Chain A
Amino acid sequence: MRHLRSTPLRLTVVVILVFAGFLGTGLGTAYLLMHRTLSVEIDSRATQLIAELRAIPDADERLERASQIAASADPRTLLVRLSLNGVVVGNLPRTDLRDGVVRGHDVAPGKALSPSYLVRSADLSPGHITVLIGRENLEELNEIFLAILACSVLPALLLTSAIGLVAVRRTGARVGAIQTTLQALTQGDLSARTGAPHPDTDLGDISRDLDRMAEAQEAATQALRQIGSDIAHDLKTPIQRVSVRLERLADTDLPPAARAQLEGAQAETAQIIATFQSLLQITQLEGGQGRDSFGPIDLVALLQDMAEIYEPAVDEHGGTLSCDVHEAQPITGDRHLLSRLIANLVENALRHAPGSPIRLSLSGRVLSISDTGPGIPEARRHDVLRRLVRLDASRSTPGSGLGLAMVKAIADLHGAQLSLGNAGPGLIVAVAFPDPQITKS
């Protein structure tokens, strides 16, 4: 199907069809015209001959004239038979020929005759005449046209098709390179290029421009990432020192009020660090990091492991955690990232729907998790996948607002489709992983 959508292939097919159409029409018209002229000529010769004999009134003279004609005629062009008053003259042995076209060897097998004849018979009252006019000219015409077709038209068509195919393959490869590069760039692989040499064509220009654009984008992203990483590093070191100082302080004797403040400060510091960490990792995931360590994943085992890890915690919150699997199919990915994805989804359900039954399920390559909590209004579902977005503007519930953004980044890295829906009541999050076979090709 993909080949049928190729523009060069379509153009080639159209050009060949137009070429064949014109040539066919021209040759066909010429053939028909010449064929008609020759047919008319043959027909008129038969008519003339019959008219000539009809014009002789005397029966004996008519017979004599007919035998003269027959004697002087070349059997390849003319065969005559006249029967009159019981006498038969002429060079045609058969009598039972009907008007129309007959083949030469039906007339007299073994003789050197024309391949076909036009038969005309007439009642001369008295007498009956049958005239066969050789259609050798018409046969030659057919041969000539066949020769034209075989020696010039067919080779021309074949050559055009071959040139077309070469063009299709060449441009096809370039178009393919542009396409895969665009896809890779869209998927976050900024190192993708169509690759030199760029041919000196419009497509070559496009692929060169695409490569330049990708290069600029990669450089810009790299610079941005470097800045981000520098900021993260520069801020993390002081935060780390704060955390070290707080911990040292915790080792000293403190009045209870001061200790409560200290523990609050420690918790906040831990939160800042967690947010930093998540932001950094989401940025890296969006940049395609982690894809190198992809391998085959047993999602069933992973899902069951995660359910097993979280079951006691969910139980303590008064909820239940169930896990069911239908016809699981293999996927590829990174086990640690996927365990993180599942953990974030379970924790999200636990945070926003505490005490609700949480259902983990896997069907084919679709992993889903649902709760019976308040859910997310349809209009906000897209927002929550963005970084640092939380539905309550007051930010009173715990959580960094990065949990679902991380889920989205991990899903994207795996080429998986993430969708949020209504579990009626509650939220259902589904992650549909791609078929590894298709992803590879």
Chain B
Amino acid sequence: MHILVIEDDKTTGEYIASGLRAEGHVVDLFADGRDGLVQAISGTYDVLVLDRMLPGVDGMSILRTLRAAKSPVPVLLLTSLDGVEDRIDGLNAGADDYLVKPFAFGELSARLNALARRPPPSDEPTMLRAADLEMNLLSRRVLRAGRDIDLQPREFALLEHMLRRKGRVQTRTMLLEAVWDIHFDPQTNVVESHMSRLRAKVDKPFGTALIETIRGSGYRIAE
């Protein structure tokens, strides 16, 4: 992917850029808001990482300018301060995702992948598959190796979310946001608990694990 990073803090900026490059992405890094805005408008990027507070032109202004210019590029907004209304403000200004610094690199990487490869809304399958598991979205039945798996509604939603993003890492916070609409970090391992229940139904009886744990990041269903 071609990624534009606009981040004024050198340590953080280089950390993001080198991490993304190590994953095989092409990264352009700018520390100044004005330069970044020019680059964002002129270049073609798959996704943009934008710091909220920047010298020159502020991150929120860049975002508004981009959206006013009808640029469809997905934007992940980085922020140092997570105020009560900051997330809403960021999303209202046109950000597609929001991440509070400091973050684990895995979190950023997973979110960028999710943003850049969002399926078009028209592409609505009725059947999701992974290895020998299939999920029928109309009858809401889940079969693995031909055997029925009985899932609670939220377990179904969790598995559906993972299946729709097959091959991509889903972090705990991404799952919390997408499946439960929770936008803060619980002090309790709620996602782990739900995941272990889901695994007890989906993986345990069948010997082979479909849901992988990615250490330090989250979970993934292999493609």
- What residues of chain A have their CB less than 8 Å away from a CB belonging to chain B? 229, 232-233, 236-237, 239-241, 243-245, 247-248, 250, 269, 273-274, 277, 280-281, 284-285, 289-290, 292-293, 305, 308-310, 312-313, 315-316, 335-337, 339-340, 343, 346-347, 350-351, 398-399, 403
When each residue 167-196 of chain B gets 1 if its CB lies under 8 Å from chain A and 0 otherwise, what string results? Answer: 000000000000011111111111011101
> Which one of A243, A289, A290, A399 lies within 8 Å of B187 (CB-CB)?
A399
B43 at the interface (CB under 8 A from A): no
Pair A243/B102 contact, Cβ less than 8 Å: yes
CA gap between A309 and B102 in the complex, in Å: 25
Q: Which residues of B contact A308 (CB under 8 A)?
A: 154
CA gap between A292 and B186 in the complex, in Å: 24
Q: Which residues of A contact B192 (CB under 8 A)?
A: 313
Pair B101/A236 contact, Cβ less than 8 Å: yes
> What are 13 A-B interface contacts by the 8 Å CB criterion?
A237-B9, A237-B80, A240-B101, A241-B9, A244-B15, A247-B104, A247-B105, A274-B187, A281-B82, A310-B188, A310-B190, A313-B188, A343-B184
Given contacts A232-B81, A240-B101, contact A293 B11 (CB under 8 A): no
B121 at the interface (CB under 8 A from A): no
Closest Cβ of chain A: how far from B125's Cβ, in Å? Answer: 26
Q: Which residues of B contact A313 (CB under 8 A)?
A: 188-190, 192-193
> Which one of A245, A289, A310 lies within 8 Å of B84 (CB-CB)?
A289
When each residue 130-157 of chain B gets 1 if its CB lies under 8 Å from chain A and 0 otherwise, what string results? Answer: 0000000000000000000000001000
CA gap between A67 and B113 in the complex, in Å: 132
CA gap between A403 and B187 in the complex, in Å: 10
Q: Which residues of A contact B190 (CB under 8 A)?
A: 309-310, 312-313
- A282 and chain B: residue at smallest CB distance: B84
CA gap between A340 and B190 in the complex, in Å: 14
- B10 and chain A: residue at smallest CB distance: A241
Given contacts A237-B9, A244-B11, A313-B193, contact A293 B188 (CB under 8 A): no
Pair A312/B197 contact, Cβ less than 8 Å: yes
B123 at the interface (CB under 8 A from A): no
Pair B196/A312 contact, Cβ less than 8 Å: yes
Closest Cβ of chain B: how far from A222's Cβ, in Å? Answer: 15
Pair A240/B12 contact, Cβ less than 8 Å: yes
Closest Cβ of chain B: how far from A418's Cβ, in Å? Answer: 18
Given contacts A280-B82, A285-B84, contact A309 B182 (CB under 8 A): yes
B88 at the interface (CB under 8 A from A): yes
Closest Cβ of chain B: how far from A108's Cβ, in Å? Answer: 94
Closest Cβ of chain B: how far from A287's Cβ, in Å? Answer: 9
CA gap between A373 and B194 in the complex, in Å: 25
Range of interface residues on B (Cβ < 8 Å): 35 or more
Pair B194/A312 contact, Cβ less than 8 Å: yes
Pair A340/B184 contact, Cβ less than 8 Å: yes
Closest Cβ of chain B: how far from A388's Cβ, in Å? Answer: 16
Q: Which residues of A contact B185 (CB under 8 A)?
A: 274
Pair A293/B187 contact, Cβ less than 8 Å: no
Closest Cβ of chain B: how far from A276's Cβ, in Å? Answer: 9
Q: Which residues of B contact A346 (CB under 8 A)?
A: 188
B24 at the interface (CB under 8 A from A): no
> Which one of A233, A336, A351 lies within 8 Å of B80 (CB-CB)?
A233
Pair B183/A336 contact, Cβ less than 8 Å: yes
Closest Cβ of chain B: how far from A441's Cβ, in Å? Answer: 26
CA gap between A308 and B104 in the complex, in Å: 27
- A302 and chain B: residue at smallest CB distance: B181
Pair B84/A284 contact, Cβ less than 8 Å: yes
When each residue 12-49 of chain B gets 1 if its CB lies under 8 Å from chain A and 0 otherwise, what string results? Answer: 10010000000000000000000000000000000000
> Which one of B81, B85, B197 lies within 8 Å of A289 (CB-CB)?
B85
Pair A315/B193 contact, Cβ less than 8 Å: yes
- B82 and chain A: residue at smallest CB distance: A277
- B105 and chain A: residue at smallest CB distance: A247
Pair B82/A240 contact, Cβ less than 8 Å: no
Q: Which residues of A contact B104 (CB under 8 A)?
A: 247
Given contacts A244-B102, A309-B190, A316-B193, contact A229 B182 (CB under 8 A): no
Q: Which residues of A contact B85 (CB under 8 A)?
A: 284, 289-290, 292-293
14 new A-B contacts at CB < 8 Å, known A289-B85, A293-B88: A236-B81, A241-B9, A241-B12, A243-B102, A244-B12, A244-B102, A274-B187, A280-B82, A289-B84, A290-B84, A309-B182, A309-B190, A313-B188, A343-B182
Q: Which residues of B contact A248 (CB under 8 A)?
A: 15
Q: Lowest 9 A-B CB distances belong to which pairs?
A: A312-B193, A243-B102, A240-B102, A313-B193, A290-B84, A289-B84, A241-B11, A284-B84, A244-B15
- B182 and chain A: residue at smallest CB distance: A339
CA gap between A120 and B11 in the complex, in Å: 122
Pair A280/B83 contact, Cβ less than 8 Å: yes
Q: Which residues of B contact A269 (CB under 8 A)?
A: 102
- A269 and chain B: residue at smallest CB distance: B102
B100 at the interface (CB under 8 A from A): yes
Q: Which residues of A contact B187 (CB under 8 A)?
A: 274, 347, 351, 398-399, 403
Closest Cβ of chain A: how far from B115's Cβ, in Å? Answer: 21
Closest Cβ of chain B: how far from A249's Cβ, in Å? Answer: 12
CA gap between A141 and B15 in the complex, in Å: 107
Q: Which residues of A contact B15 (CB under 8 A)?
A: 244, 247-248
Q: Which residues of A contact B184 (CB under 8 A)?
A: 336, 340, 343
Pair A350/B9 contact, Cβ less than 8 Å: no
CA gap between A280 and B81 in the complex, in Å: 8
Q: Which residues of B contact A285 (CB under 8 A)?
A: 84
- A266 and chain B: residue at smallest CB distance: B104
Q: Which residues of B contact A399 (CB under 8 A)?
A: 187
